[in-house]
């Protein structure tokens, strides 16, 4: 089982053990926050998905941006987790597609690419996290974005605030 101190590496926890979802049988399904994970790597999608289900989220997944935009209504998603390196439609084009349909959709860019933080913040993403993802940092970032007041989100997205989060695999934010 992945704990809050683990890191997600391509389909396994930081100890190299595969991640499994035991099914938590939670009720009040309609009250769960819906998280859409868009990543071309199925092992990353499944690892993140398992962690989020264990944390009580309703998880939707897509392997590419074109499919994600066609399959999911941006107004019914509470948070978008988006890889930049996608087939068929780039991550940035997918981001634009979702935010044109729901401008205040909280979004975490997840990427293995370096030097994307300025672009992510300029585009209004709530956070950019570099892979491999630290589970506790991911869950904390998600909670902050899901509870962010709409006014603060609008200020950040319109460029009046630079409150986006950048979590590098090399540099951790100061607390």
User: For 68-122, what is each residue's pLDDT tens digit?
Assistant: 999 999 999 999 999 999 999 999 999 999 999 998 899 999 988 877 888 888 8
Look at domain 30-167 and name its CATH class: alpha beta
Bigger pLDDT: 27 or 129? Answer: 129
pTM of the full structure: 0.76
Domain locations in the chain?
A: 30-167
The C-alpha atoms of residue 123 and residue 106 are separated, in whole angstroms, by: 12
């Amino acid at each position: 089982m992945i704990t809050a101190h683990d890191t997600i590496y391509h389909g396994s926890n930081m100890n190299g053990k595969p991640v499994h979802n035991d099914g938590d049988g939670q009720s009040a399904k309609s009250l769960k926050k819906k998280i859409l994970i868009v990543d071309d790597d199925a092992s990353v999608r499944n690892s993140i998905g398992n962690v989020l289900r264990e944390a009580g989220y309703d998880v939707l997944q897509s392997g590419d941006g074109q499919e994600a935009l066609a399959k999911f209504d941006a107004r019914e998603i509470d948070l978008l987790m988006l890889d930049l390196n996608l087939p068929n439609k780039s991550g940035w084009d997918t981001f634009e597609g979702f935010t044109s349909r729901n401008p205040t959709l909280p979004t975490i860019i997840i990427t293995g690419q370096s030097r994307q933080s300025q672009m992510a913040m300029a585009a209004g993403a709530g956070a950019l996290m570099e892979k491999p993802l630290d589970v506790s940092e991911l869950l904390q970032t998600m909670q902050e974005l899901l509870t962010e007041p709409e006014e603060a989100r609008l200020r950040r997205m319109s460029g009046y605030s630079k409150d986006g989060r950048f979590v590098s695999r090399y540099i951790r934010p100061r607390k």
